[in-house]
Amino acid sequence: MSTMGQRWRNSSPVFRILLLLLIILLLLLCLWAFLQYAWPIIRPAAGPTPAPVTSAPVVQATTPTQVAPATDTPVATLTQTPVVAVSAAATGTVTITPTPLKTVGPTTAITPTQTVTPVVEIRNVLRNGNFEEGFQTNALGKYWKGFNNGSADFSFHIDDWDLVVVEGDYTQLIEIKDAILPDRYLGIYQTAPVIPGEVYTFSIRGLVRTNTGDVEKTSYGYRLQVGFDPSGGHDWEKVKGWVELPWDEQLRVQDSFRFDSYTTTLKAKNDQMTVFIRAWKKWADSGEGDYDVDDIQLVGPAYAIPPTPAFPVTGEGPATLWDNVRVWATIALLLILVAGAIWQLRRQTN
């Protein structure tokens, strides 16, 4: 067997150059990793120099001095300074007239208080009223909840048919069919934050589609209603004063549609208000009603949502040798390559 030196001389120049480059690169990476991670641990940076401590100046009191009795609150020092008055007589008599003491009240530390006034703005307090923020797994728009009274085939759908979308790309489709009992309801609701005593404007747009598209043929069997709980309740069966929208039926499939709308005003009684929207199938039959609702708004005063504060960058903890996995993975790969090159060199020279 030849020695390693002979094997090295017998190997090709290209192989030797590549092997040397790999070794140099490996050494440079090891040095960089040492300087990047190990050196700050071995020689940590010097901490901040503490500020010099200075002693408070000593104040010498004047004589004579009178100090007020100790109380719970700090008081000011009362000082009486004699005033010397020389009489005009030639008797040489000197009269000393003391000045009266000045009463100083106790000093009180005043702590300033900060009053935060909430910012009020006019906006739509409902979330995802245009259904552009997405849908849940049951195809009901995000931030909305559903309800029904059973005994029919109920379903929610994501409707992206351009002809029935009021604005944007989507609308909420509410579908009722195959009713076993009359007066079947399928609806949605959402509770919004409001300011008590303030007035809000509710609005909604959409359409009602049926197989006949004629209210006379269905005896007004498919209607849409809205209801409100000004106290923020969630029970749709406790809602009083449901409003039947005057939206007449249209054919389920046709070349164009009419978008209906409804607007009303409400006064908040609590810090929350709930909006209910329900599709109504009046008769027990196999007919199908498709109710598309979109652009739902409850506009009025609302507290502005403060922006999320950015957390300051306070620096990271001390680095360790294992902070950067990619560096060590690269070093390991180079070690494997160097070992493979040496193995190949020995194999060629055997």
Condensed to tens digits (0 to 9), the pLDDT of residues 123-142 reads: 999 999 999 999 999 999 99
Query: Is residue 260 classed as helix, strand or coil in its secondary structure?
Result: strand
**Whether residue 257 is found in the same domain as residue 171:** yes
DSSP 35-69: IIIIHHHHSPPPPPPPPPP-PPPP-PPPSSEE-PP
Q: What is the predicted pLDDT for the residue at 90?
A: 44
Q: What residues are paired with 225 via a beta bridge?
A: 244, 278
Residue of 189, 206, 174 lying closest to 143 (CA atoms)? 189
Examine the pLDDT at 71 and tell me if it is beyond 80. no
Q: What contacts 224, CB < 8 A, 6 or more positions away?
A: 206, 208, 244, 245, 247, 277, 278, 279, 280, 291, 293
The arrangement of strands across the sheet holding 222-229 comes to 145-148, 184-193, 272-281, 222-229, 243-244
Which alpha helices (DSSP H) does the chain contain, by range?
Answer: 4-10, 13-33, 39-42, 215-218, 325-349
Residue of 278, 267, 261, 172 lying closest to 223 (CA atoms)? 278
Per the domain annotation, does 148 fall within a domain? yes
Per the domain annotation, does 310 fall within a domain? no
CB 331, CB 36: distance < 8 Å: no
Per the domain annotation, does 80 fall within a domain? no
**Whether residue 299 is found in the same domain as residue 327:** no
34 — phi, psi (to 5°)? -65, -45
Give pLDDT tens digits for 146-195: 999 999 999 999 999 999 999 999 999 999 999 999 999 999 999 999 99
**Whether residue 228 is found in the same domain as residue 332:** no
Residue located via tokens 């109504």: 280
Give pLDDT tens digits for 280-305: 999 999 999 999 999 999 999 999 87
Indicate the residue type of 18: L
**Whether residue 277 is found in the same domain as residue 335:** no
Per the domain annotation, does 52 fall within a domain? no
Residue located via tokens 């909006």: 275
Please tell me the total count of domains within the chain. 2
Domain that holds residue 160: 123-303
CATH number at residue 157: 2.60.120.260
22 — phi, psi (to 5°)? -65, -45
Residue located via tokens 């040095």: 31
Q: What is the predicted pLDDT for the residue at 61?
A: 45
**Whether residue 298 is found in the same domain as residue 170:** yes
Q: What residues are paired with 249 via a beta bridge?
A: 208
Give the confidence band of 13 by pLDDT, cuts at 50, 70, 90: confident
* Whole-number average pLDDT of the chain: 80
- Range 17-25 average pLDDT: 80
Q: What is the predicted pLDDT for the residue at 73?
A: 47
Per the domain annotation, does 30 fall within a domain? yes
Give the confidence band of 320 by pLDDT, cuts at 50, 70, 90: low
Examine the pLDDT at 2 and tell me if it is beyond 60. no
Which helix (H) or strand (E) segment is 317 a member of?
none
Per the domain annotation, does 37 fall within a domain? yes
Between 162 and 342, the higher pLDDT residue: 162
Q: How far does the chain reach from its first CA to its final CA, in angstroms?
A: 6
**Whether residue 210 is found in the same domain as residue 287:** yes
CB 273, CB 200: distance < 8 Å: yes
CB 122, CB 299: distance < 8 Å: yes
Give pLDDT tens digits for 217-252: 999 999 999 999 998 999 999 999 999 999 999 999
Per the domain annotation, does 18 fall within a domain? yes
pTM: 0.58
Q: What is the predicted pLDDT for the residue at 42?
A: 62
> Using the 8-state DSSP alphabet, how is residue 230 labeled?
T
Q: What is the predicted pLDDT for the residue at 111?
A: 62
Give the confidence band of 340 by pLDDT, cuts at 50, 70, 90: confident
**Whether residue 23 is found in the same domain as residue 167:** no
Q: What is the predicted pLDDT for the residue at 77?
A: 46
Examine the pLDDT at 78 and tell me if it is beyond 80. no
Q: What is the predicted pLDDT for the residue at 24?
A: 86
Structure tokens at 3: 């020695």
Q: What is the predicted pLDDT for the residue at 88?
A: 45
Q: What is the predicted pLDDT for the residue at 39?
A: 63
Total number of residues shown for the chain: 350
